[in-house]
């Protein structure tokens, strides 16, 4: 049988933990939208049938599932962002890949009762 974690690489917790940084809920909302494009930006929103406001409402619905006490973590960084945030108006995208692909961007949501993983993979 193949790797059950595929497409994630098998890493020990000591490797993964420092690569996932906590972000605020607003940044998590933006990140959910950015994950719809392999470049992990918000520039693709204009290509959807739904308006940006409708897409944001959908992202908020997903986040609401995890409740107000949830925490949000990502392997994505935007140089120049305030601590605990992702400022998508900044050009610089950084990430700490956790998969077998050359680029992966993700969001981990942790609540008292469940964990959600939302990821985008690209193999340039």
Domain ranges in the chain? 21-83+91-122
- The SS3 assignment for 20 reads coil
- The CA-based angle 55-58-61, given to 5 degrees, is 155
Write down the pLDDT at residue 44.
74
HSE-up of residue 48 (Cα within 13 Å, Cβ side)? 16
* Residue pLDDT, tens place only, 6-52: 999 999 999 999 999 999 999 999 999 999 876 788 877 777 888 88
DSSP track, 31-86: HHHHTTSTT--SGGGGGSSS-HHHHHHHHHHHHHTT-TT-EEEESEE-TTPPTT--
* Residue pLDDT, tens place only, 56-82: 999 999 999 999 999 999 999 998 999
pTM, two decimal places = 0.90
| Alpha carbon distance 115, 78 (integer Å) | 24
pLDDT band at 107 (very low <50, low <70, confident <90, very high): very high
């Amino acid at each position: 049988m193949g790797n059950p974690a595929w497409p994630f690489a098998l890493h020990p917790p000591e490797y993964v933990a420092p690569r996932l940084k906590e972000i605020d809920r607003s940044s998590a909302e933006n990140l959910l939208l950015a994950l719809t494009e392999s470049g992990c930006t918000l520039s693709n929103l204009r290509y959807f049938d739904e308006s940006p406001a409708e897409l944001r409402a959908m992202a908020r619905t997903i986040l609401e599932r995890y409740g107000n006490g949830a925490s949000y973590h990502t392997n994505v960084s935007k140089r120049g962002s305030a601590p605990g945030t992702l400022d998508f108006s900044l050009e610089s995208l950084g990430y700490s890949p956790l998969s077998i692909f050359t680029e992966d961007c993700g969001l981990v949501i942790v609540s008292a009762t469940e964990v959600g993983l939302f990821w985008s993979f690209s193999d340039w």
